[in-house]
Amino acid sequence: MRLQESPEAAELLERLRRLRAARGGPTLERISRSTRHVASPATLSRLFSGTLLPSERVVRATAEALLAHTSTPEREEAAVREVMVLYRRAYDAQGGQRPGRRPSIVPGPEGRLQEELWSLIRSRGLTLTHLASRLHFSRSWLSEMFRQPHRLTPGLVDRLAREFEIPREPLWRAVELAAEARRAAEAAGTGEEASRPAAAPPGAGTAADAAGGGEAQDVAGAGSRFLADENRRLQAELMCLYEAEARARDWAEDLAMRLETAREELHAAKERIACLAVEVKLAQAETRRVQHFIEIEQEARIRADELADALLDALRVSAGSRGSEDGVLAPEEAFIQAAAGRPPGDIATVVSVLRDRGRAEFAARLVQEAVSTRSVPDVTALAMALLDAGPAPAAEGTSSADGS
């Protein structure tokens, strides 16, 4: 039966051909090397030509080789699952037995539950190995659980329901029915053995021997039941240990993630502290610079006061030597002419000192004299210096003699 004769097989073949074309059409030898020779070039040739549907292992290896490094690992795994679902549909359409199918242990509820579990695995494109890895169990232990599904524990049923995205209650009910059917079968088998008359050995015919044989069978049956119960108990404890190990692994991973987050936050905090330290140093440097400017301004102020005092003293001495009637007029004119020739900054300082000492009219005359004898740029500079020094001097009603 050729591969193209069924729609399912044709869909699988089309998907594989598209994957090969998307990779640039690699040769069969290259694909075989990518599968680590799981699929030989001859098998791949028969697969892509549509003359053979190989085993599940070959198809999975081929799909993984064609999808390797094409996207994120999660997307690659999802694409491989889609290919495997198409493969199982094609295999079923050809009337073959599905790869990985396990025969039921016993007919009845337990066998139906087992078939249902394997159907769920196949419908998700998984294998028992992949499922055991996702559930953090060993493959041999999970295979034993699937061969005897009546031994499934509530914890394992919860994990399977979450993995397959199905309701938990129907699955757990099926497990309970399988367990009841198994107990009923064991009880029926034990009752038949107990009711079966013991065969007398040749040459024996006493009633005591028959009674002894019946007691031995009862003891053997009781011992078998005890061993079966003890085995179930040990399996349940082992399952609890596996679940505890899985929870511990999850907690360890969560703790590792939290520790990594804490380390990143600590590193960020250290960087913020370093930035704050730099800002503090810059602020301290700015504070020292401002203090230095304040000290310079104070020193300039002191020198201006000394200069103004010296000029006023010289003014008074000059007025006394002239002996004029008012004693101030001629020296003031000389002072104004001398001060008006100074730089704009010195003039502004003298004006400020005179204003503070109550000589606003004198300061105004000084400004007028300086403006009348300066150029336009000097007048502009003087105006800026006066604005920096304070309000412009205004004439007062007092005479110059009052301040001398």
List the domain boundaries for the chain: 3-93, 303-403
Q: What is the pLDDT of residue 283?
A: 92
Q: What is the pLDDT of residue 382?
A: 80
Distance CA 327, CA 314 (A): 13
CATH number for the domain whose boundaries are 3-93: 1.10.260
Q: What is the pLDDT of residue 390?
A: 64
The number of angstroms, rounded, from the C-alpha of 138 to the middle of its chain's C-alpha atoms is 30
Q: Across 241-340, where does the E strand assignment appear?
A: none
Distance CA 177, CA 344 (A): 109
Q: What is the pLDDT of residue 273?
A: 93
Which segments in the chain show pLDDT lower than 70?
Answer: 1-5, 94-107, 189-224, 308, 310-331, 389-404
DSSP 151: G
Distant-in-sequence, close-in-space partners of 78: CB < 8 Å, separation ≥ 6? none
Residue 82 near residue 4 (C-beta atoms within 8 A): no
DSSP 325: S
Distance CA 398, CA 385 (A): 26
Q: What is the pLDDT of residue 102?
A: 46
Q: What is the pLDDT of residue 328?
A: 42
Q: What is the reported pTM?
A: 0.33
Taken in order 369, 370, 375, 381, is the CA torsion positive or negative?
negative
Distance CA 124, CA 355 (A): 97
The number of angstroms, rounded, from the C-alpha of 353 to the middle of its chain's C-alpha atoms is 69
Q: 71 in helix, strand or coil?
A: coil
